[in-house]
Chain A
């Protein structure tokens, strides 16, 4: 069974800081890993998708990396802004059963 852990559970940083969110998983037989953003009371918005054969993906101020051998992914946010405040979730599509399994998320607050 795929277990996905996100650390820290919550994070508060001042505007302008660079930050790293972590996602660890137990089953390396994955198709891909995806990072999502969820605003309070809203649905999930896809941020970055990393295929199992890739090591990283970048979109604007966001960079996600994947290391299957160690079962880890990181989401790097550069020059954080108050608009980045949200919950960030990682999810893995596991190859053996086509299940999409989520971590419990990191709640980020960026203060002025």
Chain B
């Protein structure tokens, strides 16, 4: 019963490098979300998806892209990393209709130098 799994847990990137963060959930949830958490800023929504093949922009989408080719996976991509993208990234999933609680991954700590 894994819940929500994020890969990797830690990563250090050089400015300009690219990477993909993977979020996988095994609960058959329709909704999936990517957040970043910064000191003093709280959790800010980057992108989200309400179903396979759909994505939408959140509060801070610039510099990120996402894809939801399979219902269980939600990928977050950084095409050209910048120091401003140093943050802790959290993925969450939710059943459609909100009848159960949201589940969160353990986070990915990303440092861009």
Chain B residues contacting A105 (CB-CB under 8 Å) are 42
For B101, give its contact among A34, A42, A89 (CB under 8 Å): A34
A28 within 8 A of B: no
The tally of residues in B whose CB lies under 8 Å from a CB in A reads 25
- With a cutoff of 8 Å between Cβ atoms, the chain A residues found around residue B102 in the complex are 34, 46, 91, 93, 100
Contacts of A46 in B (CB 8 A): 101-103
B48 CB contacts on chain A under 8 angstroms: 98-100
Provide the bound-state CA to CA distance between A31 and B100, in Å: 11
Name the prevailing secondary structure of the A interface residues.
strand
Contacts A98-B50, A99-B58; A104 near B99 (Cβ below 8 A)? no
Q: Mark each residue of chain B from 2 to 22: 1 if its CB lies under 8 Å from any CB of chain A, else 0.
A: 000000000000000000000
Closest to B49 in A: A98
Contact of B94 among A44, A51, A100 (CB under 8 A): A100
In the complex, are the beta carbons of B43 and A102 less than 8 A apart?
yes
- Are B101 and A49 in touch, CB under 8 angstroms? yes
Q: Does B33 contact A (CB under 8 A)?
A: yes
Chain B residues lying within 8 Å of A49, measured Cβ to Cβ, are 100-101
A104-B93 Cα distance, complex, nearest whole Å: 20
* Most interface-central of B50, B101, B106 (chain A CB within 10 A): B101
Q: Are B105 and A93 closer than 8 Å at their CB atoms?
A: no
Interface centre among A42, A89, A93 (most CB of B within 10 A): A93
Instruction: Report the nearest A residue to B45, measured CB to CB.
Output: A99
**Known contacts A44-B104, A102-B42; 9 further A-B pairs (Cβ under 8 A):** A34-B102, A43-B90, A43-B107, A89-B42, A89-B43, A93-B98, A93-B102, A100-B45, A100-B102
Task: Return the 8 tightest CB-CB contacts between A and B, nearest first.
Answer: A31-B98, A104-B42, A46-B101, A102-B43, A44-B104, A43-B106, A93-B98, A49-B101
